[in-house]
Amino acid sequence: MIRRRGATAAVLALPLAIAAARPEFTSTWLAPDAAGVSFAGKKVAALVMSSDQSLRVSGEEQLVRELAARGVHGVATYRMAPSEELTSADRARPWFERAAVEGVVALRPVSADKQVIYSPSVWTTTSYTTLWGYYGYGWSGVYSPGSSRTDRIVVVETLVYSVALDKLLWAGASTTTNPADLQTFVKDLVSEAVKEMKKQRLVR
């Protein structure tokens, strides 16, 4: 279950003059049989679910760089298919299959209030357990950028899917206060996500 309180969080795309905090994961989940899965050297789609095209493009490019630094052949989804095709699971699926990606790393900024609490059971609901079930759900609730605030809390879902299995392997929800810039934000987010995955022995 997800609970929200307070005012709506602002977006992460605008620079701030105040100190930024690193992302902190407040909830993570690992599929019981995910430990044997490895994407090292394999082709993985980098997906940022946002209605802001510039945020999506720059975010996916940074995510590709972070995946490459970890030995994964990342490809930005905006390079795989036209934008209008990517927001529908039925239309997007053939493009992913033609691209022969073996996995998907998805980042979805959540329209969040001051506090969002993810219980572990949320990751086992039908909205998340399969890639294409989540795909339609995720695009139906993307966060549209709003006005800036003095203090911003950004909540992001990070999910790792197997395309072949159509299955969620790992999921996490993180909060970041006042992200300074997109490049640093994605770099820090991936770094913290990898730390969490190492704790759960998904990656070494």
Give residue 37's pLDDT band: very low, low, confident or very high (50, 70, 90).
Answer: confident
Instruction: Please write down the long-range contacts of 69-74, taking CB distance under 8 Å and 24 or more positions apart.
Output: 70/194, 70/203, 71/40, 71/41, 72/39, 72/40, 72/41, 72/42, 72/44, 73/41, 73/42, 73/43, 73/44, 74/44, 74/45, 74/46, 74/105
**Which pLDDT score is estimated for 201?**
76
55-81 exposure pattern, b = at least 16 Cβ within 10 A, e = fewer:
bbbbbbbbbbebbeeeebebbbbbebb
Give residue 199's pLDDT band: very low, low, confident or very high (50, 70, 90).
Answer: confident
Give me the domains of the chain, ranges plus CATH numbers: 2-199 (3.40.50.10610)
The model's pTM: 0.76
- For the residues 172-201, what does the mean pLDDT come to? 87
**Which pLDDT score is estimated for 128?**
85
12 vs 22: which has the higher pLDDT: 22
How far is residue 37's CA from residue 45's CA, in Å, rounded to a whole number?
A: 16
Give residue 114's pLDDT band: very low, low, confident or very high (50, 70, 90).
Answer: low
- For the residues 143-171, what does the mean pLDDT come to? 78
- Lowest-confidence pick of 61-65, 74-78, 171-175, 181-185: 181-185
Question: If you average pLDDT over every residue of the chain, what do you get?
Answer: 81
